[in-house]
Each structure stands twice: as C-alpha cells, then as structure tokens.
Amino acid sequence: MKRRFLLDTSTLIHGFATREEIVSQIKKIESSGQTPQQIIAAKQKYLDLVRATKRRFQQWIADKDINLAITPLIRFELLRNGSLSDERIAEINSKLVEFDELEIRSPDAQLAARLCREAHRSGAKVDKRNFDALHFASAVNNQLEIDSNDGDLPNIKAIYEKLDHA
C-alpha cells in the first residue's frame, strides 16, 4: 500500500535549499542580535533541520511506495520569494512537476476555518495569517499524511483530534 504525504512549504524550503540559500540563512542568524550562544544554537538547529529534511526527501524519492503531493497554495508560498531568480524558479518547478497537485476544495476551507475558530476559542497558538490549517485540512480530507517543519502543525493536529469530525 502506498503512503501519501502532503509536503508543506517549510518542508519544501528546507528540502530544496541550495548551498547559497543555506549560507544566506546562516548569515541572517548571525546578524540577528542574539547572544553568541544563542547564535550557535540557532545555526545548529537550522542545519540539523535542513539535513534531516534532505534525508527524508532522498528516502521518499527513492521509495516507489510513496507519493508526494502539494497544493497550488503551497506552490505559491514556495515561489513568492522576491529574491528567487528565474533560473531558481524554473529549477524548483522542475522538481515540483514530480508531485501530485491537489485541488483546494470547499470542504478543505470549511475544515480549516473550523480549526482556526476552535484555536481562537481555546486560546491555542495558531497563526491565522498563514495557511497551515488549510494545508492540514487538505491533507486530512485527501487521506494524506502531512510532513511539516512548521511549529503550528502539532497545535492544529491536537485541535483536530479534539473536534467531532465525524
């Protein structure tokens, strides 16, 4: 039986990161104004995250029993970065062509909105300005596992598990 994963934007950013993009992110961490110890820890955390994500990507791509998917919204989030060159955009798009692309439908929006409302009511931390709840809802409604490096996903999953989603 095939496993199906929806990959969110953070996973794709880390999985597709080039050496230049990694160096750029490290420089941002170094100029963040944190203490030297905090900078060392943040750099190590970032590098560990990129390495782990790239390892997962290699395993998934090599495994014929795994299907990877995105939504058009995830594609948009990945490609909207104003510093991406036309060549880099073409390179990313050439990789994304291998992924299934799900439609975002009304049931996905309904579930995502319900998750955001419940997060607000319960005081759970979920950033309503990003699209993680919609990504999560798309994965749930399409019976996909979701892979994310985003901190909001565990909160969204916990809210979903508390809902009566029958």
Write out pLDDT tens, residues 100-123. Answer: 999 999 999 999 999 989 888 888
pLDDT band, residue 166 (cuts 50/70/90): very low
- φ, ψ for residue 52, nearest 5 deg: -65, -40
The pLDDT of residue 164 is 67
Weakest-pLDDT range from 29-38, 66-75, 142-151 = 142-151
Mean pLDDT of the chain: 91
Q: What domains sit in the chain, N to C, each tagged with a CATH number?
A: 3-162 (3.40.50.1010)
The pLDDT of residue 149 is 83
Percent of the chain with pLDDT over 70: 97
